[in-house]
Chains A and B, each alone.
Chain A
Amino acid sequence: MEAGDLYDADFLESLTRLRIIATRVKGGGRHAEQRSRDLGSGFDFRDFRPYAPGDDLRAIDWNIYSRLGRVFVRLYEELEDLPLYVLPDISRSSFLEEPPRARAGLRAGLALSAISLNQHDSVGVFPFSDDLSVLVRPAAGKRRVLTLAERLASIEPGGETDFGKSLSRFGALGLREGMVAIVSDFFDPRGIEAVTAALGKLRHRLLLVQLTRKSDREPDLTGDLRLVDCESGAAADVSISAATLERYRAAYDRFQEGLTKFVRSRGAGMLQLDVEAEVVPQLAAVFEGGRYVA
């Protein structure tokens, strides 16, 4: 895959109108545009507190002193960055069909990265399949979009999907709390329970970008088939019938319901991205009024 396959000028231009807004990022971050829990030298007044030695004398509110006779200093909201950690699924299933899910997934990851970089947030990329690797360490800078695209384009197919191991490895990195965008089909051979259990251990804000296509729920298969899992190699002999398809759809719906239920309970964001359609219009649908509140 070439970097040119992931973006073009219109693609980047269409993303400049989109912003990711954090309700309040955890303090200790780099100065940026997101509201944080830290109080400091920002522009938005947030609170008063009694003066203590060492405080900046410019922060003393003299009006209060004149009325109450006590010295208080004004506290302002500190603006910091919201780190974005993009976790693209590079398991074999992402590269199986045509067009491959990986293409739409990497475009979505690049789009989110570009939005964050535009607003001075740091972005890190951690592709995963049966394990997680660090492709791009978290860093900020608008000019990094092109570099990021080239790195994403260089990704090679991985192995079997293992959310438990991959997300455990991600948690062990000890990154500052930010937003984790997981771009995947979420087809873990261990089932949706293993997926949600792994996701539940993450202490970051979550945005799940589920890569789907119509045939996931309505497979176009007939006859007596040996269906081979492209990742695990496990086979299932199936005589396709209406009843079998009905049971398949029921199984798929249970999977989907499990994922949705987790998203609701966690308060995470979720986007079902049709890999056979344009990425940006679908992504924009999540950004209501151009803003996505993380």
Chain B
Amino acid sequence: MSLSFFSLGATLAGVAALAGGLYWLQRLRVRHREVPVVTALFWREAVEETRARELRLRFRHPLAYLFILAICAALWLAAAGLRADAGTDRQLVLLLDGSAGMARGTRFDTELGRMRDMLDGLPVSKRAAIFCGATPRTILLPGEELAWFDRRSAGLAPEAAPSSIEDQLFALAKTSTAARPTTVVIFGDAHLDEAALDLLPEHFELVTPNDTRELGTECGITAFGVTPAASGDWTLVDAFIELSGSALRDVELELAGEALAQAPEVDDANGRRSLVYRDLAANGELLVARLRGSDGLPADDTASFVMPLRRRVRVQADPALPSVIARVLAADPGVELVTERPDVSFGGTAAEGSPAFALSGDRAGIVVRAPAGDASLTGFVSNLQSLGFGALGDAPITFEVAATRSLSLARGALDEEQGWTQSRSFPLFVSASTRWLSGSTDAPRWVAAGRAIEDATARTDALGRTLDPLGAAFTPPAAGVYAAAAGPALAAALLDHDMTINAESAYRVDARTVVERDPLDFAHWLALLAFVALLVEWALVRRGRMP
């Protein structure tokens, strides 16, 4: 037995207040309306036995008082939401997989119908339903009628995105407690990782209705990205495509809208086919891979990727620059040594406002100068530390705020005795410094829906909705192109191997029917009881059985 809206103390206090209030109302002298009559003779005789209520004199009608108190208390308890609990206060959440894999045949509609049937049999106050597409959407809240589910689920369809059920499970687990356990019923083919699900709390129960999964002959793109060209040309990249499935198909590639005639290097192994296209121009254009033919899952038959825009950094090297640095610059394929309009100046005197790499004789270590709030500074310094520069004993990294990026290296660090210039990290240090000073950044080499990438740019999807407005790590919710206000767009592909091969979850969850019932709600019965009691009182008053 529990109360939905008030605490026990508040409820008892309310009943006490009602009792007191009614007591004083009963004690109040009745204010009579004066009516002249031809004779009061008969009235005096009539009231000899039943006098008017003058309860200030004494409490004349205790039974009537108890009766009205019972009526008021019943109404008060109804308002307090008195109910008898039926078993545990378990919440039932039904998750509908809205990932791309559900587009196979009538899978989605079938599961939607099964979900509705189960919701229909569950207690209204405990059930909830969530559509787990690219972003989770609640389609039925506890206490809502099924008509809301019908209205919100109309027009729902699988989205070109990986399953978000696992993320939703962990979100629900945060709100689940031992006192209020949760049963989650999953409708769909989402692949659940066993290791991840083992982290769910014990009072979190997973259920999947009995279903049979039909596997067809399918093929999809499960990996799609680029790497710097093996040929060493800085402005070129090699594209990599992986196909998986039971019936591998041919691929056609398109860059900037034009089909590539180049034959790829093909390697078939373990039911997968790897294709490598060499020396494609890293020109920032859209690269699209399409499988020929079709199967039950079209979402993984196409993949898009925006090629990185790679151009050489124009570097002006001072003739007096130490040879160890000059040699590295000359060997860097991404650097073009120029004598005018440089992107970065090495040694010597840099033009006003242009980035510069300088050698310092009076300061130890490295001095990094950047404008306040330079977002790339952290990544750059982290890169320096990973190169082992921070391991040099007396070579600290010092930061200073300046209008323009610049870097000052202690000349002493170049001494051969230090050994750093002879290490493999030195050319990488020079290369990373050159690119940071020039402002060029590495574009991601692959972008998959549902996978986070480092991207500080706020982006908008195809519908114009702004995603990740804070500019933190960006996770494309679904396959598609994501534009930015400034800078190149991103194209995300599905790239979900488990979905393509329709892999069943390794984590076996219960397959049973969920049976729950609503707690017995006394509120309506109490209100009805009060109403009937009022009718009884009215009848008693009319018959003179009650004052």
Decide if B44 is an interface residue (CB 8 Å cutoff): yes
A246 near B31 with CB under 8 A, answer no
Report Cα–Cα, A216/B42, bound state, in Å.
10
> 1/0 per residue A228-258: CB within 8 Å of B?
1111101111110111111110111001000
B47 near A225 with CB under 8 A, answer no
Chain B 27-51 interface residues, beta-carbon cutoff 8 Å to A: 30-47, 49-51
> 1/0 per residue B65-82: CB within 8 Å of A?
000000000000000000
Decide if B547 is an interface residue (CB 8 Å cutoff): yes
Report Cα–Cα, A223/B35, bound state, in Å.
11
Decide if B116 is an interface residue (CB 8 Å cutoff): no
B37 near A229 with CB under 8 A, answer yes
Q: Which residue of A lies closest to B38 (CB)?
A: A93
Report Cα–Cα, A102/B50, bound state, in Å.
33
Chain B residues closer than 8 Å to A219, beta-carbon distance = 37
Q: Which of A187, A226, A245, A250 contacts B33 (CB 8 A)?
A: A226
In the complex, the number of residue pairs spanning A and B with C-beta atoms less than 8 Å apart equals 114
Report Cα–Cα, A92/B26, bound state, in Å.
37
B541 near A247 with CB under 8 A, answer no
Q: Which of B43, B53, B543 contacts A236 (CB 8 A)?
A: B43
B38 near A225 with CB under 8 A, answer no
Chain B residues closer than 8 Å to A238, beta-carbon distance = 32, 43, 46-47, 52
Decide if A146 is an interface residue (CB 8 Å cutoff): no
Report Cα–Cα, A236/B46, bound state, in Å.
10
With A227-B40, A255-B41: A244-B46 Cβ-Cβ less than 8 Å = yes
Decide if A191 is an interface residue (CB 8 Å cutoff): yes
Q: Shortest beta-carbon distance, A193 to chain B, in Å?
A: 12
Q: Which residue of B lies closest to A235 (CB)?
A: B40
A interface, over-half SS = mixed
Decide if A185 is an interface residue (CB 8 Å cutoff): yes
Q: Which residue of A lies closest to B53 (CB)?
A: A239
Decide if A97 is an interface residue (CB 8 Å cutoff): yes
Decide if A27 is an interface residue (CB 8 Å cutoff): no
A248 near B42 with CB under 8 A, answer yes
Q: Which residue of B lies closest to A252 (CB)?
A: B42
Chain B 144-186 interface residues, beta-carbon cutoff 8 Å to A: none
Q: Shortest beta-carbon distance, B441 to chain A, in Å?
A: 89
Report Cα–Cα, A113/B44, bound state, in Å.
37
Q: Which of B30, B38, B542, B543 contacts A224 (CB 8 A)?
A: B30
Q: Which residue of B lies closest to A242 (CB)?
A: B544
Q: Which residues of B contact A (CB under 8 A)?
A: 30-47, 49-54, 541-545, 547
Could you list some 23 contacts between A and B, CB below 8 A? A96-B36, A189-B41, A219-B37, A223-B33, A224-B30, A225-B35, A235-B34, A236-B40, A238-B52, A239-B50, A239-B547, A241-B541, A241-B542, A241-B544, A243-B544, A243-B545, A244-B46, A244-B50, A247-B46, A247-B50, A250-B46, A251-B45, A255-B42
Known: A187-B38, A187-B39, A224-B33. 17 other contacts (CB 8 A): A96-B36, A185-B38, A187-B41, A224-B31, A225-B32, A225-B34, A225-B35, A226-B34, A228-B36, A229-B41, A235-B34, A241-B50, A241-B541, A242-B543, A243-B50, A243-B543, A251-B46
